[in-house]
Amino acid sequence: MHPFVETSEIRVPDALIDQVLGQHEARDIIRQAAMQRRHVLLIGVPGTGKSLLGQAMAELTKVEQPEDILVFPNPEAPHQPSVRRVLAGHGQAQKAAHQTRAYRANESLRMLIWVVVVAIVLVSVYFAVRDQALTYLIGGGIGVALVLWLRRYMLASPTVSIPKLLVQHPAEHAPFVDATGLHAGALLGDVRHDPYQSGGVETPPHHLVEAGAIHRAHGGVLYIDEVSLLGLDAQHHLLTAMQERQFAITGRSPGSSGTMVHTSPVPCDFTLVLAGNIEDLEHLHPALRSRIRGYGYEIYTHESMADTEENQWLMARLVAQEVRRDGKIPHSSAAGVQAVVEAARQRCGQPGKLSCRFRELGGLIRIAGDIAIREGAQLITAAHVQRALTWSLPIEEQMLPTAPQRDENL
């Protein structure tokens, strides 16, 4: 292990992929998959760094042509709004241009109507005064009333023709979208319900269209953890979206007026990173898994690593990373790191191995840090980590009668 006195001396790499600990092979595969834009299936116990691998992949993904996606009204078929792609950053400008044009056209029409009204009034008053006849005034009044009544049909709400900015992509980096546990509408896009669907008070259908996670991940990474929470139906749609690289949006709540709206296909060229436990594999649609096997990589994230000097050094880096990320706890002494390494040894349960459940170890480090803060200590010491060990036991172990005495009053 490189010598150090406290973890503040340890440099944490900036790139997410270099912050991945313990999973050397997974790291290399993710690098390669990001370069070639391949799908990835990550299987392993919780807290071994699957989510970090997914985020790192998005960071490594090159965006060649970032796009914004706009949805326009379709005058021929109002319930089939049309979708257009523009270069990233141009979406807002296009929308604003349409907005200005619509408001200006509206303003001109409004002005024209007032000119007509004033003209009718002047002409009828002139003739009424000249001929001393009431008839002209009554005729003029009827004319004005007619124009004003027609006005509300002619002045359509200006929003009708303004496109909606469906997805706004960042220009610099590929998007990372976490779609874990989303219901079908949020994953695949949805069209909201409009209770007033006629009579001039309805919202134009294209304004009701909402992008799904698959569309927001266009050009980047779509990360779905706990794949067992995804229904077979949603998995099938996901498979279609992966194959076609575009997916039309329609209303997904039964009984909603949105089900009548169906957009033209919306681009969704994402790289899928599916994550889960080994049990989740059973709930995976065979066609989806087959597609990943055919067009991507399957990675098993290890739950332990060899107890070598190099890996003990990784543990020190883990402590430094967690302290920096948390921001509320102090750095750790070398002895504190040794205690964390010892905890990783014991949590693993196999001789000569260290646990790779980094989220749990992160929790342990944070609790040790909290104890250090409460005691006003400048550094996390081995004693703090030992105290944290009993305070970080899962409920299930706290309930056991053999649980270590945490409370002397029991």
| Interacting positions 202-261 with its own copies (CB under 8 A) | 203, 207-208, 225-226, 229, 232-233, 235-236, 239, 253-257, 259-260
CA-to-CA distance for 319 and 333, rounded, in angstroms?
10
Which part of the chain contacts its own copies (CB under 8 A), choosing from 6-14, 43-51, 56-64, 337-345? 43-51
**Cβ pair 53, 10 in contact under 8 A:** no
Q: CB under 8 A: which stretch of 54-62, 104-112, 124-132, 378-386 binds its own copies?
A: 124-132
What's the closest the beta carbon of residue 258 comes to its own copies, in angstroms? 9
Single out the residue of 14, 64, 172, 407 in contact with its own copies (rule: CB under 8 A). 407
Which one-letter DSSP state was computed for residue 56?
A: H
Q: By CB under 8 A, what part of segment 60-99 binds its own copies?
A: 76, 79, 99
Task: Decide if residue 285 touches its own copies (CB under 8 A).
Answer: yes
Q: Pick from 3, 64, 75, 294: which binds its own copies (CB under 8 A)?
A: 294
Mark 190-199 as b/e (b = at least 16 C-beta within 10 Å).
bbbebeeeee
> How many amino acids of this chain bind its own copies (CB under 8 A)?
112
For its own copies, what does the binding mask look like between residues 295 and 334, x meaning CB under 8 A? xxxxxx-x-xxx-x-xx----------------xx-----
Q: Is the distance from CB of 87 to CB of 65 less than 8 angstroms?
A: yes
- Specify the 3-state DSSP secondary structure of 295: helix
Report the site for its own copies in 344-403 (rule: CB under 8 A).
359-360, 362-363, 366-367, 369-371, 373-374, 391-396, 398-399
Pairing mode, if any, of strands 176-178 and 221-224?
Answer: parallel
Closest distance of CB 273 from its own copies, Å: 14
Between helix 24-36 and helix 50-60 the angle, nearest 10°, is 40
Is the alpha carbon torsion for 29, 35, 38, 44 positive or negative? positive
Contact, 32 vs 291, CB < 8 A? Answer: no
Contact status: 193 vs its own copies (CB under 8 A) = yes
Structure tokens at 30: 């993710």
Residue type, 11: R
Task: Report in angstroms how near the CB of residue 382 gets to its own copies at its nearest.
Answer: 19
Shortest CB 409 distance to its own copies, Å: 6
219's tokens: 């050009």
Nearer CB in complex with its own copies: 4/295 = 295
Cβ proximity to its own copies, 9 vs 181, nearer residue = 181
- Identify which of residues 9 and 101 has a Cβ nearer to its own copies in the complex: 101
Q: Which stretch binds its own copies (CB under 8 A): 3-11, 64-72, 177-185, 335-343?
A: 177-185
3 state DSSP class of 320: helix
Does 158 help bind its own copies (rule: CB under 8 A)? no
Q: What is the largest CA-CA distance in the chain?
A: 114
Instruction: Give the tokens for residue 272.
Output: 């899928």
Q: Does 409 help bind its own copies (rule: CB under 8 A)?
A: yes
Stretch binding its own copies (CB under 8 A), from 186-194, 263-271, 336-344, 377-385: 186-194
Token look-up 């004005």 returns 144
Helix 382-391 vs helix 358-374: angle between axes, to the nearest 10 degrees?
Answer: 110
406 binds its own copies (CB under 8 A): yes
108 C-beta neighbours (distance < 10 Å), count? 10
Q: Which is nearer to its own copies, 7 or 124 (CB)?
A: 124
Question: Interface with its own copies includes 22 (CB under 8 A)?
Answer: yes
Among 183, 265, 335, 377, binds its own copies (CB under 8 A): 183
How far is 3 from 155, CA to CA, in rounded Å? 76
* Residue from 37, 215, 345, 347 in contact with its own copies (CB under 8 A): 37
Structure token digits, residue 232: 């077979």
Q: Is 176 in the site for its own copies (CB under 8 A)?
A: no
- Give the C-alpha separation, 48 to 394, whole Å: 17
Q: Using the rule CB under 8 A, is 201 a contact of its own copies?
A: yes
Q: Where are the alpha helices (DSSP H) in 20-65?
A: 24-36, 50-60
Does 56 bind its own copies (CB under 8 A)? Our answer is: no
Distance CA 45, CA 100 (A): 54
CB under 8 A: which stretch of 1-9, 140-148, 264-272, 336-344 binds its own copies? 140-148
